[in-house]
Structure 1
Amino acid sequence: MNDMAQLIEPLIPALRRYARALMRDRSAADDLVQDGLERAIGRWHQRRADGNARSWLFAIVHNLALNRIRQSSRRGRHLPPEDADAVGSVPPAQEHGLQHRDLLRALESLPEEQRSVVLLVSVEDLSYVEVAEVLKIPIGTVMSRLSRGRERLRQAMEGVAKAEPVGASHLRRVK
């Protein structure tokens, strides 16, 4: 039991950051982490002893988040009462605040599979191997999703409206 606490406790801040980025709502993210930790503790005996506890915990939180995102897409968006007054608020005028907002919007516009890889590698500092374990995908897929995700973020931050699909033709018909 003591080993479990020593492995889990230092990971909680990173799990909360990842959950907040996925859920885009502080209280939903905290609930997600709580449920993920509860599931990890309840199923600690199922964890591979030689496995990476960090990857295992991120995988649990990731899978729970996917389930909740799917569930909420069926139900529709919920706006908690405490956030209702923020709907009509004015965005900050400071450059940093605007860049931060733009980056968050660019992250939100990424497909979920790219967003997850970008967050796990760039924010949570997981290795490509760890990300592959968490998401249960090949390492090559991790690298290609990361590359495409970073490129879309770069284009969004530079003001490119939408990234052209790979292989899109820039040819036009000449009469």
Structure 2
Amino acid sequence: MKVEAALAHIPRLRRYARALAGDAAQADDLVQDTLERACQKWALWQPPAAASAEQEQKALLSWLLTLMHNLYANQWQQLSRHRTVELDEALASVHDPIPGLALQLDLERALCCLAPQAREVLLLIGMEQFSYAEAAQMLGVPVGTVMSRLSRAREQLRRLMEGERPATTMLRAVK
């Protein structure tokens, strides 16, 4: 398998990055960083033994999404160390350019209010249609952790979509 095989996955990588980052420019940067890292680490990727072409592509996508998750987690961690952001300020920066898209924007706002770990699990399972085991492998956590994060994320998303105001907590760096 050649590095060019990763190019077929760019649309899915962009979709996941956009939902994860919440900003098109940041998402494009994340996809680019992911593809650069994949090129650097290409020798580490091993397709499953005796796998069909379809299984190899799915394994490659899982590997790329794992790289993306790790990059995003590292970037988020670095960002949270350097500054404190109040949730209301983040929500105020989101605007309603087209009134007909209010529900979609409400969903985007609600997703932004979720903790990164909850959002990642929700997007991998709900949007990208990965199994619990596949998501657990990509995120490097046990399957039970994925299940509990997903349950809490769905419940919090439901409450936010019903109009419950998110808690106005401050994010702060923890030593």
TM-score by length of 2: 0.76
- The total of aligned residue pairs comes to 152
Deviation per CA, 1:153-174, whole angstroms, max 9, x where unpaired?
11111123459xxxxxxxxxxx
How many angstroms apart in 2 are the aligned matches of 1:23 and 1:17?
10
Greater C-alpha radius of gyration: 1
Q: Is the 8 A contact 1:118 1:150 kept in 2?
A: yes
Query: 1:92–1:98: 8 Å Cα contact kept in structure 2?
Result: no
**How far apart are residue 69 of structure 1 and its match?**
1.4
What's the % identity of the aligned pairs? Answer: 46
Relative to structure 1, is the Cα distance of residues 109 and 90 closer, same or farther in structure 2, using a 3 angstrom cutoff? closer
2:63 equivalent in structure 1: 56
**Offset of 1:137 from its aligned partner?**
0.9
What's the TM-score, normalizing by structure 1?
Answer: 0.76
Tell me which moved more, 42-51 or 128-137: 42-51
Q: 1:74-153 counterparts in 2 under 5 A?
A: 74-76=81-83, 91-92=96-97, 94=99, 96-153=100-157
Range with greater deviation from structure 2 (62-71 or 43-52) = 43-52
Whose relative contact order is higher, 1 or 2, with alpha carbons under 8 Å and at least 6 apart? Answer: 2
CA-to-aligned-CA distance 1:59-79 (integer Å, 9 cap, x gap):
1111111111122223338xx
Which residue of the partner structure matches residue 156 of structure 1? 160
Over the residues paired in the alignment, what is the CA RMSD in angstroms? 2.6
1:38 aligns with 2:36: yes
Q: 2:23 aligns with which of 22, 25, 43?
A: 25
